[in-house]
Copies of this chain bind each other. A is one copy, B any other.
Amino acid sequence: MNIGIVGLGLIGGSLGLDLRSQPNLHYVWGISRNQTTCDRAVALGAVDVASQNFASIPQIDRTDVVFICTPISAILSAITSVIPHISQTAIITDVGSVKSSISLQGQMLWSRFVGGHPMAGTAFSGIEAAERSLFQQRVCVLTPGIDRAALEMVRSIWESVGATVYESSPEAHDRAVAWISHLPVIVSAGLLLAAQREGNDEISQLAQKLASSGFRDTSRVGGGNPELGRMMAEYNQTALLDHLYSYQQTLQDLITMIEQGQWQEIQTALEVAQHLRPLYVRE
């Protein structure tokens, strides 16, 4: 197949590495705003050719599928940019972590558009962070639209790199990821920012020395990529706020129990939490 990747960062670069290592040889082209990134993507083997300009890509008119792997804010403009260079039968898909604001508008721009979200991040970003097998045993959500065949094609590519594909409406996707991805970022960042409010330097320094695996894990996503966190909040504002209000209420209930010394109630709440976790986490 002839496959395009627009945006050669962690996701785009990793997808290219996997596709080019497959036995059924694909021709993979890439686009980046940055010439150095183009050169590195070719050198690392993530793409066969890369350019800053669509017009410079050999055989771009014979493209089968284009993956838009830019930041969320650039997805729709990237779709608009690629359209003049591809044939009517080409499929366009994306990897944005929110879908309500992308999937419908994407289809209005291109009928063979399929919204997608491979859930595979690392602490790092950019082409240098790209790695093989990033999508193995990860989940990818696709939002079905009018073109079933387009969706099945995109599904087969994600499955070929090891992902498990689920289908969902854009709205259900956004509320679900707000629970398991976006809310945790704010909750976790809040922990780091609150600890900074400690007024006593001795206690603050001792806390820093004593912090171990519990603090490390609880603060991990809050200490992650700030641009990504901002994008999540900006593009999934409604669902995130809904969940933050639920979280505030839950926290207030726990605080009231602690204030009133309701230790059995606290233990029961923690037992419920312990039983809930395996629904989400398979370790």
Residues of B within 8 A of A148 (CB): none
Contacting chain B: which of A52-60, A84-92, A187-195? A187-195
The answer to whether A180 touches B193, judged by C-beta atoms less than 8 angstroms apart, is no
Chain A: number of interface residues, binned into ranges: 35 or more
Nearest 4 CB-CB pairings of A with B: A223-B277, A226-B270, A211-B280, A230-B267
Q: Mark A251-283, 1 if CB is under 8 A from B, else 0.
A: 110110011010110111111111011111101
| Secondary structure of the A contact surface, majority rule | helix
Interface residue A144 (Cβ < 8 Å from any Cβ of B):
no
Chain A residues near B (Cβ < 8 Å): 119, 121, 138-139, 141, 166, 168, 172-173, 175-177, 179-181, 183-198, 200, 202-203, 206-227, 229-230, 233-234, 237, 240-241, 243-252, 254-255, 258-259, 261, 263-264, 266-274, 276-281, 283
The answer to whether A207 touches B176, judged by C-beta atoms less than 8 angstroms apart, is yes
Select one of B195, B227, B237 contacting A276, CB under 8 A. Answer: B195
**Closest B-chain residue to A206, C-beta based?**
B176
The answer to whether B175 touches A270, judged by C-beta atoms less than 8 angstroms apart, is no
